[in-house]
Amino acid sequence: MPQRKTILVIGGGVTGMEASARLAEMGYRVTLVERQGRLGGHVDNWDFLFPDRKPAANILNPLKDAINYKVDVKLSTEITTIKKLNGQFISSLSTGDFVKTDVILLATGFDLFDARKKEEYGYGIYDKVITAAELEEYFSGKNGYKLLNKDGRGKIGILHCVGSRDEKVGNEYCSKVCCVTGVKQSMKLREYYPGYEVFCFYMDLRMFGRYFEDLYREAQEKWGVQFIRGRVSEASETHDNKISVRFEDTLSGKPMKISLDLVILLTGFVPASGSTYLKEMLSLDIGKDRFFKPVDEHLKRNHSSREGIFLAGACTGPKSIAESITEARAVSLEISSFLNKSE
Amino acid sequence: MRNNKFGFTIHSDNQINLDERDFNLYHKIISGEAGFMSCISCGSCTASCTAAAYTDFNYRQLCHNIRRGQNDAVAKELSKCMFCGKCSLICPRGINTRKIINLLHKELSKTGQYAY
Amino acid sequence: MNVEGKKRVWKEYQKDIASDHYFYARSCIRQNFFPGSETTFLKILREELGKDIYDDPRHTTCTGIAYHADIVPFETTMTVVARQFSLMSESGYKNYVPSCITSFGIYTEILETWQHFPEIETKIREMLWKATGREFNKPENLAHSSDIIYKYRDEIANKGKFKLINQYTGAPLKVVEHIGCHYARMFPHKGIGGAEYPYVLTGMIESWGGEIIDYPERRHCCGFGFRQYLVKANRGYSVACSKRKFESMAPFQPDFIITNCPGCPYFMDRWQFVIAEMEGITYGSGGQGIPVLTYEEVAGLVLGYDPWDIGLQTHQVAVEPLLEKIGIPYDLNMKYKGEKGKFIGTPEYPEVLKVY
């Protein structure tokens, strides 16, 4: 009986988990390495997902079950070096172990843009300026703080395109999923804090996916969320501890300001630090946006510039959870096809 | 103390403070026609508008101004609308734009701003 | 407000400031409207800090105001600046210290231009040679005079006789800091603390015992704008900018404003008088306005110099209430007596703004 082919999957987020489960199902021996002490990546921090508002656990639990006992999962482990020898990859891990595999799959995902770099928004300086990720933690009860008085009245602002489409921070690309996240969160904020008005400050509204336009309509019609087309230029703290933001209401062509009780920054995606480390080590191609560049955007989306090293998920650019799962399945097929040919 | 004591007058603030605008008219309209909240400012209404072709009446801008609490010019502009219904026909969000015009007439005549 | 967040930003924007042997370039506005400031600066550097600073009588304006008002083309400005550098190298100095923020902005812009476009530098060398027969070296270090005071703020605090504390309440004085537009906005890394949360004046005030106020229009320009105020009919535009700042800072009840640009205190001081006379509105308490001081004047007060030697009598907004708060003694009889006690004349008294 021929020896089972082996695969190393780097990254235990939704992409890594789904791909590992599929590849294991196909009969390969899969090792999944994750630098954090738990699986689930960013999705584990989200409260409820677009477009249908299902809880994040509804995706993570089935994925965890699918790899249970079928995949060799190594948590709190990082890759130290990878070398190629006799057509196989030898990876040394931070635990001191070695893993020898026929194929490597990079599912290293993304990091969130560090909002402190947009100094003009005062993140980390003004208390009432938080990121969308932090808001998800509040919703899921993870940090137990009190954001606002539930019976109070006031205004909340959601700022789009923080760290994306912005030459000043070196990220000219669009992070794609932040707009629908803003719309999703705007509705939940109106639900939690009915006395507060919610304003979304956008440049363009990228409602690219199925049902996203419905979410936008619902936010406007059912929840009365107000959308202002104009990018916020600066945030300052007022005498009564509110945040005053300046923006142009481009549709009327007038500069305006408004004081908000809470400001939420929709921070975009940047390549994960793990991706950058591996890109250097393996000399992989990256695009202008610094995410991994596959061989072809249509027919070889999951092939990196090196044979035997595959890519899937957000490490090749911003994408939604649904797309990442689809890519995880696609790359499993590509890997299987590659391994069959090399026999 | 004289306003032009030194040969010039101080420029007034062009930046609008949204905290100080009056949103009463906006709230009255949305309680009569919830569709007023669905507008995405696509401009189809103004594009098809009969009055816009011959006057500077701009339906999209009128509604937008009300949404931003700018109610000064509403009464004057309202008289230009011919009530032809082309805007209701085209609106991609299905907003009953004619009803909004009606509501504005009613609200403004209450406050004596517009003789219906 | 999370000060740690600001400190993190400040760490990102640090710059190299020379420690001695400075070539000083005076400011057109400052030496005319606040002459005591520059005298105080030189006195502090020479007598308190023992530094070598050369004040060359042959230097001219950098033509910054004219350049920004579109009257003088960039090539001319660059050639004038080249002559300034030539005077510096001729006198044997390498560290250039302009007193004006606009000058600092001009020098930074020119040095950056020459760095990215060396052919322009060559052309200017040629033009300077043709016009004056001079050659020049670029300065090794360019720092604004407020950067120098910032660098030695702790030494000044140690030698200081007064702290920026309200003697009646024991609380630190509330200070509004106003940074000149051209200090960091064009090249954030050339300013201490960057452009969004500048630290150069904050550091001084903290060292000297005061407390800095952050208010919404902190970043707003004072309205100097060069083109705006040169034509009298346009001055309302400039006044409106300062007025917006005053309206924004008033609820925080600041004790005084500290600035590093020469034009800004000139405007913020004078425009409070103008707004009072035109519209009857005064800021601060008691209808006296909010005193506006340059950093040299604040340093001088901390060191215990006589307020009239520093030149505070040329201020439109009364500084006496501030002096009383700090506990600095002053003699009102000596206010309008110049050198050797000669009477220099009093200004016309305003209708609305209360002065001493």
Using an 8 Å Cβ cutoff, are C353 and C286 in contact?
no
User: In Å, what is the CA distance from A214 to each residue of A115, A222, B41?
Assistant: 29, 11, 17
Do the chains contact at A123 and C6, CB–CB below 8 Å?
no
Of C232, C243, C277, which is closest to B1 when you measure between CB atoms? C277
> C340 versus A276: which is more confidently predicted?
A276
CA distance B11 to chain C (A): 5
CATH of residue A40's domain is: 3.50.50.60
The model's confidence at residue A143, banded by pLDDT at 50, 70 and 90, is confident
Q: What is the pLDDT of residue C9?
A: 87
- pLDDT value at position B2? 76
Q: Which fold has domain B21-110?
A: Fumarate Reductase Iron-sulfur Protein; Chain B, domain 2 (1.10.1060)
Q: Of A288-302, B6-20, C225-239, where does the model show the most confidence?
A: A288-302
**CB contact at 8 A, A139 and A48:** yes
DSSP string, B20-84: GS--HHHHHHHHH-GGGGG-----HHHHH-TGGGTSS--HHHHHHHHHTT--TTHHHHHTT----
Alpha carbon distance C186, C249 (integer Å): 25
- CA C187 vs CA C70, C104, C224: distances in Å: 21, 11, 20
* Cβ–Cβ gap A116/C9 under 8 Å: yes
- pLDDT-derived band of residue C233, with 50, 70 and 90 as boundaries? confident
A122/chain C closest Cα distance in angstroms: 8
Reported confidence tier of residue A185, pLDDT bands at 50, 70, 90: very high
- 3-state class (DSSP) for residue B99: helix
Chain C residues in contact with B6 (beta carbon < 8 A): 232, 235, 274, 277-278
Query: In terms of domains, do A259 and A284 share one?
Result: no
> Which one of C228, C279, C282, C348 makes the best mutation probe of the B interface by having the most chain B beta carbons within 10 Å?
C279
Domain ranges of chain B: 21-110
Report yes or no: C5 at the A interface, CB cutoff 8 Å: yes
Pick from C323, C321, C317: which is nearest to C282 by CA? C317
Considering the domain architecture, whether residues A238 and A261 belong to the same structural domain is answered as yes
| Cβ separation C5–A124 shorter than 8 A | yes
Nearest to B34 among A221, A226, A257 (CB): A221
Q: Are residues A176 and A292 in the same domain?
A: no
Instruction: Check the CA dihedral A137-A140-A142-A143 and report its sign.
Output: positive
Let me know whether A147 and A252 are in one domain.
yes
Domain residue spans of chain C: 19-145, 146-330
Report the SS3 class of residue B97.
helix
Tell me the residues of A at the C interface, defined by beta carbons under 8 Å apart.
116, 119-120, 122-127, 234, 236-239, 244
Could you tell me the end-to-end alpha-carbon distance of chain C, in angstroms, rounded to an integer? Answer: 37
Contacts of B7 in chain C (CB under 8 A): 232-233, 235
- B19 with A258: Cβ contact below 8 A: yes
Residue A343 pLDDT exceeds 70 = no
Round the average pLDDT of chain C to a whole number and report it: 93
Residue A75 sits in which domain range?
A: 6-109+272-341
Contacts of C2 in chain A (CB under 8 A): 124-127
Contact: C236, B10; criterion CB under 8 Å: yes
Determine contact, residues A188/A281, Cβ cutoff 8 Å: no
For the segment B100-105, the average pLDDT, to the nearest whole number, is: 94
Mutate: best of C8, C10, C176, C196, partner A, most A CBs <10 A: C196
User: CB-side exposure of A271: number of CA atoms within 13 Å?
Assistant: 22
- First-to-final CA distance of chain B: 45
Q: Is residue A85 part of a domain?
A: yes
Rounded to whole angstroms, the Cα distance separating B11 from C241 reads 9
Judge: C351–B7 Cβ closer than 8 Å, yes or no: no
Q: How confident is the model at residue A144 (pLDDT cuts 50, 70, 90)?
A: low
Q: C350 CA to chain B: closest CA distance, Å? A: 10
Residue C167 backbone class (left: φ over 0; alpha: ψ -120 to 50; beta: rest): alpha
* Per-residue pLDDT tens digits for A106-125: 999 999 999 999 999 999 99
Average pLDDT over residues A41-47: 94
Tell me the average pLDDT across A273-294: 95
pLDDT value for C231: 86
Pairing of strands A196-202, C53-55: unpaired
**Per residue in B34-64, pLDDT tens?**
999 999 999 999 999 999 999 999 999 999 9
Q: Which distant-in-sequence residues (6+ apart) come within 8 Å of C174 by Cβ?
A: C210, C211, C213, C252, C253, C254, C255
Candidate from A97-111, C126-140, C186-200 with smallest mean pLDDT? C186-200
**B98–chain C nearest CA distance, Å:** 42
The answer to whether C5 contacts A237, with C-beta atoms less than 8 Å apart, is no
Check residue B112 and give its pLDDT. Answer: 79
Compute the distance between CA of residue A109 and CA of residue A74 in angstroms, rounded to an integer: 17
Does A246 sit within 8 Å of B15, measured CB to CB? yes
Q: In this complex, do A252 and B70 lie within 8 Å of one another by their Cβ atoms?
A: yes
Nearest-by-Cβ selection for B2 from C239, C243, C278: C278
* pLDDT at A41 exceeding the cut of 80: yes
Q: Which amino acid is at C26?
A: R
**ipTM score for this prediction:** 0.91
**pLDDT value, residue A231:** 97
CATH topology of domain C19-145: Glutathione S-transferase Yfyf (Class Pi); Chain A, domain 2 (1.20.1050)
- Same-domain check for residues A208 and A250: yes
Q: How confident is the model at residue C104 (pLDDT cuts 50, 70, 90)?
A: very high
Nearest beta carbon to residue B1 from set C234, C236, C278: C278
Interface touch C2/A237, C-beta < 8 Å = no
Q: Is residue A1 part of a domain?
A: no
Least-confidence region, from A138-147, A256-265, C189-198:
A138-147
Selecting from B8, B10, B11 the residue whose C-beta is nearest the C-beta of C279 gives B10
Output the 3-class SS for A267-292. ECEEECHHHHHHHHHHCCCECCCCCE
C-alpha distances in angstroms, A280 versus A34, A270, A305, A330, C102? 19, 16, 13, 26, 44
Of A221, A251, A257, the CB nearest to B41: A251
pLDDT for the residue C72: 94
- Position A333 scores a pLDDT of 97
Residue B104's SS3 state is: helix
The pLDDT score that the predictor gives to residue A142 is 76
Chain C segment 106-135 residues within 8 A of B by beta carbon are none
Considering its fold, how many domains does chain A have in total? 2
Confidence of residue A20 (pLDDT cuts 50, 70, 90): very high
Q: Which residues in chain C are closer than 8 Å to A117, comparing Cβ atoms? A: none
Comparing CB atoms, the residue among C197, C215, C218 nearest residue A119 is C197
Which of C214, C241, C245 would you mutate first to test chain A, the one with the most A CBs within 10 A?
Answer: C214
| Partners of residue A243 on adjacent β-strands | A237, A260
Q: Are A260 and A157 in contact (CB under 8 A)?
A: yes
Q: Which chains would you list as touching A if contact means 3+ CB atom pairs under 8 Å?
A: B, C
For a pLDDT cut of 90, what percent of chain B falls above it? 74
CA–CA dist C316, C324 (Å, integer): 17
Bridge-partner residues for A33, per DSSP? A10, A74
Residues A220 and A182 in one domain: yes
Q: Does C219 touch chain A (CB under 8 A)?
A: yes
Query: Has residue A201 got a pLDDT over 90?
Result: yes
Contacts with B, C 198-257, CB within 8 Å: 232-237, 239-240, 243-244
Please give the Cα distance from A177 to A60 (Å, whole number): 19
Q: What is the pLDDT of residue A57?
A: 94
Mean pLDDT rounded to a whole number for chain A: 95
- Per-residue pLDDT at C253: 94
Q: Which of C8, C214, C251 sits opposite A116 (nearest CB)?
A: C8
Strands, sheet with A72-74, edge to edge from the N-terminal-most edge strand: A72-74, A29-33, A6-10, A103-106, A309-311
Supply the pTM of this predicted model: 0.92
Residue C82: C-alpha distances to residues C44, C74, C136, C140, C253 (Å) = 28, 12, 7, 14, 45
Residue B40 with chain A: CB contacts under 8 Å? 227
Q: Mean of the pLDDT values across residues C162-180? A: 95
Domain C146-330 has CATH 3.40.50.720: no
The three-state secondary structure class of B92 is coil
A290 conformational bin, left if phi > 0, alpha if psi -120 to 50, beta if neither:
left
Distance CA A195, CA A150 (A): 8
**Is B37–A229 a contact, with Cβ atoms under 8 angstroms apart?**
no
Mean of pLDDT values over A12-41: 96
Q: Hey, is the C-beta of C218 within 8 angstroms of any chain A C-beta?
A: yes
Residue C340 falls in which region: left (phi positive, over 0), alpha (psi -120 to 50) or beta: left
- Return all residues near A44 (Cβ < 8 A) that are at least 6 apart: A38, A56, A60
Cβ-based neighbour number of residue A324 at 10 Å: 24
Q: In B, which residues are within 8 Å of C278 by CB distance?
A: 1-6, 9-10
Which pLDDT value is given to residue A2?
A: 59
Residue closest to A206 by CA, chosen among A172, A233, A183: A183
Report CB contact under 8 Å: B37, A246.
Answer: no
- If asked whether residues A120 and A260 sit together in one domain, one would say yes
Secondary structure, 3-state, chain C: CCHHHHHHHHHHCCCCCCCCCEEEECCHHHHHHCHHHHHHHHHHHHHHCCCCEEECCCCCCCCHHHHHCCCCCHHHHHHHHHHHHHHHHHCCCCEEEECCHHHHHHHHHHHHHHHHCHHHHHHHHHHHHHHHCCCCCCCCEECCHHHHHHHCHHHHHHHCCCCCECCCCCCECEEEEECCHHHHCCCHHHCCCCCCCCCHHHHHHHHCCCEEECCCCCCCCCCCCCHHHHCHHHHHHHHHHHHHHHHHHHHHCCCEEEECCCHHHHHHHHHHHHHHHHHCCCCCCCCCCCCEEEHHHHHHHHCCCCHHHHCHHHCCCCCHHHHHHHCCCCCHHHCCECHHHCECCCCCCCCCCCCC
* Chain C residues in contact with B12 (beta carbon < 8 A): 240
- Nearest CB among B17, B40, B68 relative to A249 is that of B68
- pLDDT band, residue A39 (cuts 50/70/90): very high
Residue of C nearest to A126 (CA): C1
A232, A119 Cβ separation under 8 angstroms: no
A139 plus A260 within the same structural domain: yes
If pLDDT is split at 50, 70 and 90, which confidence band does B115 have? low
Residue A248's pLDDT is 96
C16 touches chain A (CB under 8 A): no
